[in-house]
Amino acid sequence: MYVGVDCGTQSTKVVVVDERLRIVGEASSAHELISGPHGRREQPPQWWIDAFEQAFAAAVAQAGIAAGAIRAIGVSGQQHGMVALDAQGVPVYPGKLWNDTESAAENTALIEALGGPAGCLDKLGLLLQPGYTASKVAWLRKHHREAYARIATILLPHDYLNFHLTGERCAEAGDASGTGYFDTRRRAWREDVFALVAPELDPARVLPRLIAPHEPVGRVRAEVAARLGLGPDVVVAAGGGDNMMGAIGTGNIEPGTLTLSLGTSGTLYACTDRPAVSGNGLVANFCASHGGWLPLVCTMNVTSATTQVRQLFGLDVAAFNEAVARAPVGAGGVVALPFFSGERVPALPEARGSFHGLDGHNLRPENLCRAVVEGATFGLRYGLDLLGGLGIVPRGIRLTGGGAKSPVWRQIVADVMNAELACPQVGEAAALGAALQAAWCESHLQGEGRPLSELCAEAVDLHADTVTRPRAEQVDAYATAYRDYLAVLQREYPSTPAVPRQL
């Protein structure tokens, strides 16, 4: 048996996978979120441990097995968080999360210190973002100097859970890519960049040891194993960030496939065998947690935007989808820029949501509902075009996230992207990916060295009833609607970079 863990913003999920790589038990345990002014988003790391142990016990119970049957554990975690530990391994400050933007001013200062966007791309292979770990460390240095002075180790959330399980301070290239002091081309720490972030800290001492994606962090500590009922030699795999584990869990580990998530925010990423550095930095050149690279685009307003419009009209999810289906392609001429939380791609942090083209004929609830769905999808299409400018053109799309449950939204995505798509049968892609990476790691330790592609082929199935193909007539109609969206976007935000290709 193998265990996959996904420590997210809202909960920690655990899946138990059997020798046939099928999920036989799963559970989750929620954690709260500390929110404050200026974009503060924090969680004490102990919450993650408590949630993991609760979900682990429930998943094992559901599987109907003894925990002693488990051979390896893999951990996925929310990217970009900061977990700063003292010499005893105790956090000096609550973990600051990926969506914490309290350090925006520090991020701007770091970009300038690195020589602007061009300097960032040259040194890191990507452009620093306010959510990355680097600016959080700089923020702690400026605002909580006493806590900063006690730092002995800086970990990411998934690294911290690995540390709790094994006592080892390790990292791997995928999740490390999002720290802001990691060279994503060479897959190595940039100690000179870290010196700009934290000049008093010795990177050789503070930064965790890097390991390969198939290598183990270590074995579960005796104290933890006893509490969880595990055997004495359970392996903890390298793990990785949630997007990297999601790539494994959707079978997106070879060029040609795109994973697209319709979640609170939106992500789309593809696998490449070489770095993919964009000239404007809008594509994040992350490393993959199975080897290779995982160029990624993140938009901030997807189901978060549709939920606001749905609630505005007092609709439940089913009624909202019915309203979207009643409206025509192009929403009767209504164009939505759904930037209710600002936007990351394109880089418009101060943007606000807006509707355009309203008149006395199209001002109808169903048009506004469809416009916000189309606007969120056009934002992701903009990201697809950015990837296309780097030579990444997928043959098919693996669609995940809450929005993927809507047949009408699936069809809109297929038509806007002009690509066939399907949803994986397992919704917890990151947790499944972590379990598969654990099985891959354990296979290497046993001398078998099974290819990860073989494991993914066995474990990742697609829902046949979600296969959605683009319709030629609608593709043509959406080519016009997308051009209208880009025209409004350029008019409202003239600094927006033009996309390299269009339908």
Give me the phi and psi of 330, to 5 degrees please: 85, 0
The kind and range of the H/E element at 477 are helix 472-492
* Secondary-structure percent of the chain, ordered helix, strand, coil, rounded to 5: 40, 20, 35
Neighbours of 232 (CB within 10 A): 10
Pick left, alpha or beta for residue 64 (phi over 0 → left; psi -120 to 50 → alpha; otherwise beta): left
Instruction: Name the catalytic one among 159, 183, 242, 415.
Output: 242
Closest CA to 392 of 363, 372, 419, 415: 419
DSSP three-state, residue 66: coil
Q: Is 192 designated active site? A: no
Residue 12 · residue 48 · CB < 8 Å: yes
* Token pair for 38: 């200026």
What sections of 168-285 are H helices per DSSP?
A: 173-176, 191-197, 203-206, 222-228, 242-249
Q: What SS3 class is residue 407?
A: helix
User: What dihedral do alpha carbons 169, 174, 177, 178 form, nearest 10°?
Assistant: -90
Active site residues: 242
